Structure 1
Amino acid sequence: MEAFLTSTLTVALAEIGDKTQLLSLFLATRFRNKWAIIAGILVATLANHGVSAWLGDLIGDYLASATGQWLIGGSFIALGLWLLVPDKDDSEDSAVERYGAFVATTVMFFLAEIGDKTQVATVLLGAQYQSVFWVTVGTTLGMLLANVPVVLAGDYLMRRIPLQPVRILAAGAFIVVGLLQLPLRATFG
C-alpha cells in the first residue's frame, strides 16, 4: 500500500506544471472528446510507467545498498530542484490535426514522458519499492489526478491556480522525500 500511495502522491506533485500537463491543456483546446483524451493519457501512462517501474525494479537490488540509497535520495532532491524549472509546451499543431483525440494523445503523451520528471520518478519508485504493479498503478493514478482536471476544466483552472507557489510546494516535498532517503545514520552514526 505504501508503494501505491507514495507513487500516486509523487507523480501527482511532479506533474504540476509539467510539459505533459501543458500538453493536456493543449489537447483539451483542440479536441471536443475529453474522454478520448483521458483514455489516451491512461494508455500512454500505463505503457510508459509500466516499463519505467520494471526498469526500476530490475536495478533495485543495487540501489538497496547505502550507495544506492544516496543515489535515490540525491535523485529525489535533484527532481525537487528540477520542478522549480518551468516546462514549455513544445507541441506542434500539425501533428495533432492529423489524428483523432485518442491516438494523438496516446502517442504524444508516451513520447512526452520519455526522460520526463515523472518517468525518472517512476524508475526511482520502482527501484525503491520493487513492486512493478503498485508503482505503475500509483504513478498512473497520480498522472490522471494531475491531468484529468486540466482536460475537463483546462482554461478555467489554469487562470485561477497560481502555478509558482504550487510548483515550490511540490519541489519542497520532493526534496524532503530525498533527504529522508539518505542513509545518514548508517553513514555518520
Structure 2
Amino acid sequence: MDAFFTSTAIVALAEIGDKTQLLAIVLATRFRRPLPIILGILAATLANHLLAALVGAEAAAWLEGDWFRYLVAFSFLAMGAWTLIPDKLDEDEAPPPRYGAFLATLIAFFIVEMGDKTQIATIALGARFQDVWLVAAGTTLGMMLANVPAVYLGQELIKRVPLNVVRMTAAALFTVIGLWMLAEAAGLALF
C-alpha cells in the first residue's frame, strides 16, 4: 500500500498550481458542466497514468542495478526542483469550445499531461514501486483530489490556497524521497 499512498500524496501536491489544474479551471468556467469535466479528467488520467506507471515498472524490470536506482533517485530530486517552478496555461493549450465538455476535457487533459511533471512522477513511481496498478490508482486519486475542487471552486480556490507553500511542500516531499532512495542505493541503513 506504500505505492498507493505515496503516489496519491506526491501527485496531489504536485498537481496544485500545475497547468492541468489550471486547465480544469478553464474548462469549468468555459463549459459550466462539472460532472462531464470530472469524468473527462478521470478517463484521461487513468489512461495516461496507467501507461506512465507501466513504462516506469517495465524500465525498472529491464534496467535493474545500482545505476538505475541512482537514476530514479535523481529523478525524484529533479522533480523536487521542477515542482518549485510555477506553471501557467497557454491560451493555445485550452480546448476549443465546439466539443462537448467530456470529449474536450478527455482530449485536452490527455495531451497536456504528456511530459508534465505528474506524468514524469508517475513514471518514476512506477519504477520505484514496480506496481503498475497501485501507482496508477494512487496517482489518479491524487489528480482527482487536486482537480475536482478546482472544477467546482475554480478561481476562488486559486485566490485562497497559498501555491508557494504547496509547491515547497511538494518539492520537499520529492526531495526527501529522492534522498531516501539515494541512501538505499548507497547501502546506508536508515532504520
TM-score by length of 2: 0.93
Q: Percent identity?
A: 53
Is 1:54–1:123's contact at 8 Å kept on the other side of the alignment?
yes
Residues 28-107 of structure 1 mapped to structure 2, 5 A cutoff = 28-92=28-92, 95-107=95-107
1:161-182 deviation line (CA, Å, top 9, x unaligned): 1211211111111111111110
Map of 1:119 onto structure 2: 119
Q: How many angstroms does 1:141 deviate by?
A: 0.3
Gaps of 5+ in 2: none
Q: Does 1:169 pair with 2:159?
A: no
Indicate the SS of the match to 1:43. helix
Q: How many angstroms does 1:65 deviate by?
A: 2.0
Is 2:59–2:127's contact at 8 Å kept on the other side of the alignment?
yes
Distance 1:14 1:93 in 2: 20
Indicate the SS of the match to 2:96. helix
Is 1:33–1:101's contact at 8 Å kept on the other side of the alignment?
yes
Q: How many angstroms does 1:63 deviate by?
A: 5.0
Q: How many angstroms does 1:64 deviate by?
A: 4.2
Distance 1:129 1:26, change over 3 A: same
TM-score by length of 1: 0.94
Is 2:70–2:185's contact at 8 Å kept on the other side of the alignment?
no
Distance 1:185 1:81 in 2: 21
Q: How many angstroms does 1:10 deviate by?
A: 1.1
Counting matched residue pairs gives 189
Distance 1:166 1:92 in 2: 27
Distance 1:106 1:42 in 2: 8
Distance 1:10 1:95, change over 3 A: closer
Map of 1:158 onto structure 2: 158
Is 1:63–1:128's contact at 8 Å kept on the other side of the alignment?
no
Q: How many angstroms does 1:79 deviate by?
A: 0.4
Distance 1:185 1:36 in 2: 44
Q: Which amino acid aligns with 2:80?
A: G
Is 1:38–1:148's contact at 8 Å kept on the other side of the alignment?
yes
Q: Which amino acid aligns with 1:133?
A: W
1:74-120 deviation line (CA, Å, top 9, x unaligned): 10010010011111111438842111110010000000110010111
Is 1:23–1:91's contact at 8 Å kept on the other side of the alignment?
no
Is 1:63–1:71's contact at 8 Å kept on the other side of the alignment?
no
